[in-house]
Amino acid sequence: MPRLQRATKNIILLATVLVLSAVIGASQKRAAATGRPFLPEQIIQAVISPFERGLYWICTPVRTVKRSLRTRRRLQTENKRLRADVLRLTEENAHLTELASESARLREAVGFSESRPERMRLARVIAAQASRRFDTCTLDLGGNDGVVRECAVITPRGLVGRVFETTPNTSQVLLLTDATSAVGAMLSRSRATGICEGQQSNTLILKYLQRDADAHVGDVVVSSGMGGVYPKGLVIGRVVRIISKPGDFLKSAEVAPSVKFDTLEEAFVILKGPT
Amino acid sequence: MRATLVIVCAMILLGAAQGALAHRMTIGQISPDFLIAATAAIGLLLGPTAGTLAGMLAGLAHGSITGVGLGSFMASRALVGCLAGSAKSHVFHDNPLVPLVGGIVGTLVAESVFVLLNPPARLGEWFAPLPLIAIYNGIIAVPTYWVLRRLLGEGFLTTKTRRHEGIRRYRETSNE
């Protein structure tokens, strides 16, 4: 019996609450329609809002930490991606710079080859300074390409050396700086002649100049064409020092070569035979 | 007296949490309903009378925060509280599945009643996320239930549960 009474009580309570809900719902709708504030709602909001504000205040640092952690993660990912991009672009940039430099060199070379009367072929330097004892380099053209011994090797900047050995596909070049290298040379301005020899260093020496020869620092040294290996008029370098000893009949000059042998990448081989 | 105080404070705090926190605890597009979870928990702990009143308060709080449908919120939540309370004497209170199932079923009932009273324009869109919301609320109901249980003490326990508790304690002391 008490259980039944309790159940009845509960049903009555529920029914009351439902009726109250209906009344409150209707009142709220009416208040909304007339634009008046609904008092119960305002009271409850007044009670709840300080706690809402408190919770918001408590949660703000948590949210900030959470956001900064998320930002950190995002930045880390972004940083990783950007580093990879920088690496890729640096490589790409280096490649493009290389291509641009090669293109400029080849343009210069094409212009040079067209301006020269000799028959020549462009070759790439595939190996250089293989031995400390000899100043030599290897070109990617050989006997199959018409290259033979004693072919002159030049660049638009000036004389490089001569071919001293060939294989079907490559050729060895003795550079001007090698101690065994010698070229018939003359001063471009005064036409004073001598022989330009290598000395296994960065400079050459122009020997056998007459004691009274008109030679000054800065004079351009060109090939004289004597000896038959090198055509006449190819630039060898510039005089940097005059060497004259008292009592000697002859004098010498130290010459800085116009070609930079350590950065040589391409060169023309002047082929022998009819042009 | 203690139970009334706990219910009122819980509803105010959870009402505030519903306004300030629920949208920040969204998973996917599913946000929790603390008030339904608490109503179900109170009903399960204190019976239909307290459940109905707690539901009414929860509806008032939720309706006030939302600003519309106050009556629908009150009715639906009161019904959930009453139903959960009716199950009080039939459940084993130490089982963690009790608040979980209570939260899930409570959400389904509350939202269904709410839809009946306030039919939405697109019924499908309203019901599609309901199972996930119910599960979320069920999960939230578990800690809510245990916190409320701690706050209410053991005065709410049914005779059956008390007897069971007594047996458990007797076994523990005899083992020592």
Provide the residue-wise pLDDT of chain A in tens; the chain has 275 residues.
Answer: 567 777 888 888 888 988 988 888 888 888 878 877 788 888 888 888 888 888 878 877 877 888 888 899 999 999 999 999 999 999 999 889 888 888 887 887 777 777 777 788 888 888 876 555 678 888 888 888 889 988 999 988 889 999 988 888 888 899 998 888 899 999 988 889 999 999 878 889 999 998 888 889 999 999 998 877 888 888 999 999 999 888 888 999 999 999 988 888 889 999 887 65
pLDDT at position A133 is 62
pLDDT at position A128 is 75
Nearest chain B CA: its distance from A100 CA (Å): 53
**Rg of chain A on CA atoms, in Å:** 46
Q: Can you give the CATH number for the domain in which B12 is found?
A: 1.10.1760
When CB atoms are compared, the residue of B55, B64, B82 closest to A48 is: B64
pLDDT tens column, B1-29? 778 888 888 888 888 888 778 877 888 87
| Residue of chain B with shortest Cα separation from A23 | B71
Q: Which domain holds residue B96?
A: 2-175
pLDDT at position A255 is 94
Report how many Cβ contacts below 8 Å link chain A to chain B. 98
- Name every chain B residue with its beta carbon within 8 A of the beta carbon of A21: 56, 59, 70-72, 74-75, 78
| Residue of chain A with shortest Cα separation from B47 | A10
pLDDT over 70 percentage in chain A: 96
pLDDT tens column, B50-99? 899 999 999 988 888 777 778 888 999 999 999 998 888 777 777 778 88
Measured distance CA(B43)–CA(B36) in Å, rounded:
10
> Under a CB-based contact definition with an 8 Å cutoff, are residues A183 and A223 in contact?
yes
Measured distance CA(A148)–CA(A271) in Å, rounded:
8
> Under a CB-based contact definition with an 8 Å cutoff, are residues B25 and A66 in contact?
no
CB-based contact A9 B49, cutoff 8 Å: yes
pLDDT at position B54 is 92
- Name every chain B residue with its beta carbon within 8 A of the beta carbon of A48: 12, 15-16, 19, 61, 64-65
- Name every chain A residue with its beta carbon within 8 A of the beta carbon of B38: none
Residue A164 region by backbone torsions, left for phi larger than 0, else alpha for psi between -120 and 50, else beta = alpha
β-strand pairing of A152-155 with A136-139: unpaired
Measured distance CA(A55)–CA(B23) in Å, rounded:
13
pLDDT tens column, B109-156? 998 888 888 787 777 777 888 899 999 999 999 999 989 888 887 655
CB-based contact A17 B55, cutoff 8 Å: yes
Measured distance CA(A173)–CA(A190) in Å, rounded:
30
β-strand pairing of A266-270 with A193-198: unpaired
pLDDT tens column, A40-77? 888 888 888 888 888 878 877 877 888 888 899 999 99
Which two tokens mark B89? Answer: 């004497």
pLDDT at position A130 is 55
CB-based contact B70 A10, cutoff 8 Å: no
Question: Cα separations (Å) of B34 from A65, A209, B19, B137?
Answer: 24, 106, 10, 7
pLDDT at position A238 is 94
Looking at the predicted structure, is the pLDDT value of residue B159 above 70? no
How many separate domains does chain B show?
A: 1
pLDDT at position A116 is 76
Measured distance CA(B76)–CA(B70) in Å, rounded:
10
CB-based contact A22 B78, cutoff 8 Å: no
pLDDT at position B161 is 59
Looking at the predicted structure, is the pLDDT value of residue B167 above 70? no
Find the mean pLDDT for residues B152-163: 62
